[in-house]
Amino acid sequence: MSAVGVVKAITPPNIRARKGSTPLVCLTAYTTPVARLVDGHCDIVLVGDSVGMVLHGLPSTLSVTLDMMIMHAKAVRRGMERALLVVDMPFGSYEESLEQAFRNSARLMAETGCAAVKLEGGATIAETIRFLTARGIPVMAHVGLTPQAVNVFGGYRVQGRGEDADRIWRDALAVSEAGAFSVVLEKVPEPLARRITEEIPIPTIGIGASAACDGQILVVDDMLGLFGDFRPKFVKRYVELGEAASAAIEAYACDVKERRFPAAEHVFGDELKAITGGEAT
Ligand code: KIV
């Protein structure tokens, strides 16, 4: 079999080797068309459990299921050639036992073709990370604000302020020692994210963290201005697609009501051309 023309996909060891080098570009995707848009620009594409809030209108990520993650990950996989595809393990799919975590991660990888999974949690989940990586499942960790623990935190608050900084630092060190190939640092104070990045040997991927991180991630719908339910301070909106879409839908509604749409160029002529061999226009 020839390898000519085959794009070599980025692997977890490639990401691990990028520590301290050019920042890693990461975005979420939940559908094939968005995966096609982001693949060429990203090192990592994450099918995040944020899909529950962003696409399904759920109030939190807590009711996202493994089946939902598998369906979206399959769609994203079809739009990807180059970036590393990482898929979130949803709440309740990995915390109960090492065996449960392996069974569900293996199913996610087998059914979707993703090359790695992401788990939320620090020191408490380190043993699971060690168990999975030893059995062929690369793990990206996620510490700081872990949205699946929103009820424990009492909201989507910055984590690791003041004396609490040590807890987050120990979490990051624990997941790194357990074998995670990278770690997301979400919503932690900038000096803490900088310190963790300097002190742990795996790439840190920041979201509401620090420009010093080894990479950055955003929810794609947030940076495109498509998700308006909240506007976190850490999101930079690169375009307001939601506003553009709303104006386009309003214009369409007006055109329909005023009979300006469809116009002559949007309708078909008589059948004569088809009968005489020409294509009906
Ligand atoms: O679910 C998600 O999209 C995430 C990223 C924001 C890191 O976990």
Per-residue pLDDT tens over the stretch 83-103: 999 999 999 999 999 999 999
Atom of ligand 1 nearest to the CA of 120: 8
Residues of the chain by 3-state class (helix, strand, coil), percent to 5: 40, 15, 45
Lowest mean pLDDT among 2-16, 30-44, 112-126: 2-16
**Dist. CA 157 → ligand 1 center (Å):** 15
Atom of ligand 1 nearest to the CA of 48: 1
- Is residue 243 among the annotated active site residues? no
Supply the pLDDT for residue 271: 65
pLDDT at 246 over 90: yes
Q: Residue of the nearest CA to atom 2 in ligand 1?
A: 48
111 labeled part of a ligand binding site: no
67 labeled part of a ligand binding site: no
Rounded Cα–Cα distance for residues 29 and 151 (Å): 26
Q: How far is CA 97 from the centre of its chain?
A: 25
| CATH architecture entry for 12-241 | Alpha-Beta Barrel (3.20)
| Sequence ranges of the domains in the chain | 12-241
pLDDT band at 227 (very low <50, low <70, confident <90, very high): confident
Percent of the chain with pLDDT over 90: 91
